[in-house]
A and B are shown apart, each in its own frame.
Chain A
Amino acid sequence: MPIARSKLLVLQVLVAVFAIIFWHIVTNYPVFSDVKTMKFFFSTPIDVFTRVIRMFADGSVYKHLWITLVETILAFVIGASLGIVIGFWFARKPLVAAVFDPYVKMMNALPRVVLAPIFALWFGLGIWSKVWLGVTLVFFIVFFNVYQGVREVPQVVLANARMLGMNERQLLRHVYWPAALAWVFSSLHTSVGFAVVGAVVGEYLGSAAGLGYLIHQAEGVFDVTGVFAGMVILMMFVMLIDAIVTVIEKPLLVWKPGETRTV
């Protein structure tokens, strides 16, 4: 049974309200432990909220937001482009794919966090070490999707396109390319999310600006309010980017079954 939108929204907001009230009570009243200790470890919702407001009010957060945004966008664009090109190449040249297969698996199996220090060494503490960390994450998602997308074009669609007189170049443009793009778009949320992860983790492990840097700085001085405020801003940042992705992908996936909704 479909749930009414308004009812769902109310329930969703209620979850947040209860969580915040719970947080407020346990940090302002001696429920589990004395108030001072609880405040040290968990801060309070009101403190975190006022800190977030202050960071926006005095404008100190915008620089960091901007840096993380630039890193995210660069990581996504570079990672996705490489993923599309190499995914296409591998899918059309089975020999290349077979030769590189074990290496691709090895690279993908490597937890990317361990690359952060080496990237910092190679690319410095500026944005590029973060961008490349994000690229290593985004690349594999897009690469696997494009590879799959190109290889899984239904044989009958391919045969039909050839019978319609398409040459290799036209097949690439009218059949393989749209099929691959469809898979890229269907993984857009995941890959953009990973671009953010790459940027923030990179900043966290060594940088002079960005949301990850903010959180790391606050942790360094046991400023729990600062850590939570940084996390709240990061969450808002991710949700905003996700919303933008949703708006972008909508017209691009209109041809997909199940993607059109009647409101």
Chain B
Amino acid sequence: MTKAVELAGVSVAYGLAGGGRYEAVQPVDLSVRDGEFVALLGPTGCGKSTLLNIAAGLMPPSSGQCDIFGQKLSGLNAKAGYLFQQDALMPWKTAQDNVAIGLEVTGVSRAEALARTQVMLTKVGLGAFGDRYPHQLSGGQRKRVALAQVLIREPKILLMDEPFGPLDAQTRLIMSELLLDLWQQDRKAVMFVTHDLDEAIALSDRVVVMSAGPKSRFIGEFEVNLPRPRDIAEVRSEPAFHRLHADIWSCLREEVRKTYGLAGKGAA
């Protein structure tokens, strides 16, 4: 299968103000196949979002290379759609205009862009909310608009940076269901960054675990062989889910403790 994203020997380091270097991520290799859903799991501040930004072309790696469908990435990744953790909608545009703009900038006529926008908004359950401004929508609704904004451009790769992080637990579940549902219809390569173990297992085909920063690296990789299509609520009660959960947690636990300066101090 073709590799949608391939990070080879990618590392991240920053020059510090007082001289010296801060090594955020040690050289890592990661490939995401076309149509594969990969979750990048790690404690806060381990540099998972940074890897995502490298795949998006928003920042260059300090060393190594990022290939997109076999071609070296330079500049922005035009094949990727990026769903940010924070609100990234343009507040001065209505939901509809926020979604349509992604088509309009590529030269699609306004009328056609609006028609396709309406279809996409309906898909994410916001068919009747096109004329609302972002501040008139709830957090979950804004995420749906952002999802529509990304999907309407039909990217080959989806990059997601803890997209449902700011939402409440129930809304997260609903959003995860929506995401899986849409992804099931049109499988794209997905890089999904999260610190939520349940979310990672429930959504993905493969979970890659990162160690705590600085100098973070990959410390584990787990195939998720749960059948698809999945029901987010039900998949959590399957024995396979629990086994995976236990395995990944044992790998992750020490790293999370390190983040809080608790390493090696008794049992969790």
Contacts and interface: CB of A to CB of B under 8 A. Distances in A.
Question: Which interface residue of A164, A175, A179, A256 has the most chain B CB atoms within 10 A?
Answer: A164
Contacts of A257: 91, 135
Interface in B72-112: 76, 78, 80-82, 84, 86-94, 101-102, 105-106
A254 to B, nearest CB: 7
Interface string A225-263: 000000000000000000000000000001111101000
Contacts of A163: 56, 58, 76, 80-82
A17 to B, nearest CB: 41
Interface in A153-181: 154, 156-157, 159-167, 170, 174-175, 178-179
Interface residues of B, number: 28
A162 B82 CA distance: 10
A254 B91 CA distance: 10
B136 interface: yes
A201 interface: no
B135 A256 contact: yes
B11 interface: no
Contact of A164 (B86, B101, B133, B136): B101
B245 to A, nearest CB: 31
Contacts of A255: 91-94, 133-135
B194 interface: no
B92 A182 contact: yes
Given A170-B105, A256-B135, A161 B90 contact: yes
A165 B102 CA distance: 7
B84 A160 contact: yes
Nearest to B76: A162
Contact of B84 (A159, A165, A175): A159
B68 to A, nearest CB: 14
B44 to A, nearest CB: 18
Contact of A156 (B76, B80, B86, B106): B86
Interface string A127-146: 00000000000000000000
B153 interface: yes
Contacts of B211: none
Contacts of A260: 136
Interface of A: 154, 156-157, 159-167, 170, 174-175, 178-179, 182, 254-258, 260
Closest A-B pairs by Cβ, 3 of them: A160-B88, A257-B135, A178-B92
